[in-house]
Amino acid sequence: MKIGLIKETKTPVDNRVALTPEQVARMNSMYPESEIVVQSSDIRAYSDDEYRKAGVKVVEDINDCDVLFGIKEAKISSLISGKHYFFFGHIAKMQEYNRPLLQAFLHNNITFSDYEYLVDDNNVRLCAFGWWAGVVGVYYTLRGYGLKYKLFELPKPDIHFTLNDLLSNLKGIDLPVVKLLVTGKGRVSQGAQYVLKQIGANLIEESEYLSDNPVNVLSYYVANVEKLVSRKDGGDFDRKEFEEHPQYYKSDFMCWAKYTDILVSAHYWAPEAPVYLSKEDLRNCDNHIRMIGDVTCDIMGSIKSTIRPATHADPYYDYNPLTEKEDPLFTKEDDITVMAVDTCPNALPRDASNYFGEMLIPNVFEPLLKGEKIESGVIHKATIVEKGMLTERFGYLSEFSRGG
């Protein structure tokens, strides 16, 4: 088998990789009957020369590869008929903007496996960047708060930025003495909590958070979904019921917004679930939030001030709750500043890539290199299209793929 790491073609660019030079070299040494090569790229966090120095072949032409790995969606014009691709496809939730990509898979006899659906027997994701999104999300959010109120200036990450750099920078400033709410308890939230703990922020009790008592250090609370919603009929929260019938629930977010200065949104949200911060909530005089780090970046989703994604070059925009539109950044005191970078891990591309590769190796690369191919249970469950046909698990995409 011959495997290729493709160059990223999506705009804005993503400089993460599926495997680092050391990881590719390790796989090539362990499986000498196969080979992993790297398509030449000038945007990766790891340069072509770093791969060459590790003994990895760097090529322009990947037509002779059997399986191709990227990170974000490949341009349709770059797809090669009959190949097996792995990347984050953003099509399984019927994202309209990627319908042409799905159609291209079907029309070109392509097999496509989506990283997002690499799960174990308990449906827990095996390969994800979520923890790193939470880490970077907190950094960007605190950086934005410092800029908004002219309290401190944290450096913008560059391609060689590391987790140690991030923590060192945060430890070198006087942290704002405010209340910060982290939502969710999954990987994204865990990454956010890790940073807050490392920099000495104070985790406080719910009763202390939901009080008018002032804090004397950066203080935070972690609220999972059962703290954010309640049954419309006043009954008890039931997680299984909430997942199956979210329409039975309403948002209780305003009780938190009243005491929150900074919100780090790290929760999973589905369109059927309650909106946590509606447009009406955002202009409510009880809403104290003036900085939102929407790490999950659901556009016009659970938090209606997230009106568009941001970029690493320009991570922030100001939302005017009265006009419900964007204002020039940091110009109006009552505006809410939003951090909505949808590729936060890309700010720590080398660390995040190494972490991701170590998860891909046992769950994807080793099964492939052992000849298991799509028969691997994990890979099979993540495969949306097989040889130009929707798999049974993703058959619901049939009408969507036709434009219906």
Mean per-residue pLDDT, 23-28? 98
Q: Is the pTM of this model over 0.75?
A: yes
For 290-337, the pLDDT digits (tens) are 999 999 998 899 999 999 999 999 999 999 999 999 999 999 999 999
Mean per-residue pLDDT, 257-268? 96
CA 61 to chain centre: 30
Contact call for residues 229 and 237 (beta carbons, < 8 A): yes
With bands split at pLDDT 50, 70 and 90, how would you rate the model's confidence at 270? confident
For 305-315, the pLDDT digits (tens) are 999 999 999 99
Contact call for residues 256 and 285 (beta carbons, < 8 A): no
**Token pair belonging to 46:** 């790891």
Domains and CATH numbers, the chain: 2-110+350-401 (3.40.50.720), 130-347 (3.40.50.720)
For 115-161, the pLDDT digits (tens) are 999 999 888 899 999 999 999 999 999 999 999 999 999 999 988 89
Mean per-residue pLDDT, 259-282? 94
> pLDDT: is 37 or 268 the higher one?
37
Q: Assess whether pLDDT exceeds 60 at residue 244.
A: yes
| Average per-residue pLDDT for the chain | 95
Number of Cβ atoms within 10 Å of the Cβ of 41: 19
Tell me what pLDDT residue 368 has: 92
- Helix residue ranges per DSSP H, 77-129: 99-107
Q: How far apart are CA 173 and CA 124, in angstroms?
A: 37
- Helix residue ranges per DSSP H, 31-66: 48-53
Of 189, 115, 131, the closest CA to residue 163 belongs to 131
Tell me what pLDDT residue 375 has: 58
Q: How many residues does the chain have?
A: 404
Contact call for residues 350 and 160 (beta carbons, < 8 A): yes
Tell me what pLDDT residue 23 has: 98
Tell me what pLDDT residue 374 has: 57
